[in-house]
């Protein structure tokens, strides 16, 4: 490529509006990549904590021991462990009130776990809307810069008596750089959004399955205790 049409030369010689658009898109791209890496590490941590707690839960540990461990390390718990702790605490509170109706006990525990589940999913889904916005808006912002740059280039050619490709090409190329930067910002955001949305759906399904399995365990325990009391 001719040195006069290098990317740096095109950016430095673009109009102020196009340069402002390019700068905005570069800042958005940097913020997008920062959000992508934060979300990547956060989801990896959530998966690890959930899998670790699930192994411990099915290893045969007592529910009271699991609750004590969750309460002791509340700040380092994973979403699934906090969901378990919410349901277990509500279940114990209802039992302390001498409530023996199985339906009431199970409804209370499920409501507590569902509320905790929603809070955890709100945290897990944070920054996804930002990535979606970057992916959908950045190309249009770049296109705005391109249209403005082409208008500026053609208005500058109006005073020339003879227009050749050599006089038109630099202005058009400067304008097209804005679209290229817009796509550079949008494509990683869209790819990351789709990847994270799929991972979050899997986490949500895993946690919903755990809620149902844990509810069944509580219901069996209540039924067993009621039968032994009846005898």
Residue at 231 is within a domain: no
Residue at 55 is within a domain: yes
Residue at 209 is within a domain: yes
What three-state secondary structure class fits 152?
A: helix
- 91/222 Cα distance (integer angstroms): 10
Residue at 48 is within a domain: yes
Residue at 230 is within a domain: no
158-215 tens-digit pLDDT: 665 665 655 666 667 777 888 888 999 999 999 999 999 999 999 999 999 999 999 9
Residue at 137 is within a domain: yes
Please tell me the pTM assigned to this model: 0.81
Find the helix packing angle between 102-124 and 16-57, rounded to 10°: 150
pLDDT averaged over the chain? 85
Domain span at residue 127 reads 3-225
- 147/151 Cα distance (integer angstroms): 6
Place of tokens 């944070």: 126
Residues 6+ apart with CB under 8 A from 171: 149, 150, 152, 153, 154, 156, 157
pLDDT at 153 over 80: no
Residue at 219 is within a domain: yes
What total of structural domains would you count in the chain? Answer: 1
């Amino acid at each position: 490529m001719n040195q006069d049409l290098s990317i740096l030369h095109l950016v430095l010689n673009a109009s102020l509006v196009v340069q402002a658009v390019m700068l905005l898109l570069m800042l958005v791209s940097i913020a997008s990549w920062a959000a992508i890496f934060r979300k990547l590490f956060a989801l990896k941590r959530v998966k690890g904590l959930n899998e670790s707690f699930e192994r411990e839960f099915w290893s045969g540990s007592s529910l009271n021991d699991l609750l004590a461990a969750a309460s002791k390390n509340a700040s380092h718990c994973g979403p699934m462990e906090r969901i378990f702790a919410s349901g277990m605490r509500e279940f114990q509170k209802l039992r302390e009130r001498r409530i023996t109706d199985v339906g009431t006990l199970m409804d209370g525990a499920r409501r507590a776990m569902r509320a905790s589940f929603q809070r955890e999913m709100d945290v897990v889904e944070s920054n996804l809307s930002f990535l979606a916005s970057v992916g959908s808006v950045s190309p249009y912002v770049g296109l705005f810069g391109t249209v403005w740059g082409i208008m500026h280039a053609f208005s500058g050619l109006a005073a020339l008596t003879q227009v050749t490709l050599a006089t038109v090409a630099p202005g058009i190329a400067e304008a097209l750089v804005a679209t290229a930067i817009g796509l550079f910002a949008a494509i990683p955001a869209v790819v990351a959004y789709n990847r994270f949305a799929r991972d979050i759906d899997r986490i949500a399904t895993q946690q919903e399955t755990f809620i149902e399995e844990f509810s069944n365990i509580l219901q069996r325990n209540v039924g067993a205790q009621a039968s032994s009391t009846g005898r």
